[in-house]
Structure 1
Amino acid sequence: MTIKQPLVVKQPEIGGLIREFRLLTGLTQEKFAAHLGVTYPTINRWENGRSKPSPLAMEKIEAQLHEMGDEGQDLLAKYLLN
C-alpha cells in the first residue's frame, strides 16, 4: 500500500497558485469557493496569504490540476517545493 504524500507548496506562494489556478479555470472567487466546498472569504484569505488551505482542500486542488493536463502540470511545477 502506497501512502500518498501531501502536496507541498512554498508557503508564501500558495496564494499565487490558487489565484493562477482559479483564473485558468475562469472562475470567480465565489464560484471557485463553491467548487471546492469552502466559502468566498476562505478563497480570498488563501489568495492574499492570510491563511493556507487545509490538507483536504490541497488534495482537491492537486487532483483538479492533474486533470487539467499540461497547464495544471506547469502550475504544479512552478509552485511545488522540490
Structure 2
Amino acid sequence: MSERDDQEREFDLKWADGAEHKEPSARARMLAARWKENPPGPVPFRADPEHVGSGRRSSWVSTAVVLGCVAAVIVLLGYVDFRGAY
C-alpha cells in the first residue's frame, strides 16, 4: 500500500469514529426487538450455591484429584527418565 492509501484509510477511520450516530449491531437490534415483546427476567449475578457445579463434590476432592494427577505425571516422567538412563 502506498502512503496516500494509508492517509486515506486513516481519514476514513477518523471520519467513521467521529460519527454522531452509531448504528447498533445486528445482534443488539435483534435482542432489543425480542426484549420489547418479551423482556428477560431478572438473573442473579452469582448462581445459587446448590446449583453450582455438577453434583455436591467438596472442593478438597477436586484438589486431591488434581494433585494426584500431577503426582502421577511426575512419577511417570521420572520412570521414563530412569529407563532412558540405561
Smaller-chain TM-score range? under 0.3
Structure showing greater Rg = 2
Q: TM-score, normalised by structure 2?
A: 0.21
Structure number with higher relative contact order (C-alpha < 8 Å, ≥ 6 residues apart): 1
Q: TM-score, normalised by structure 1?
A: 0.22
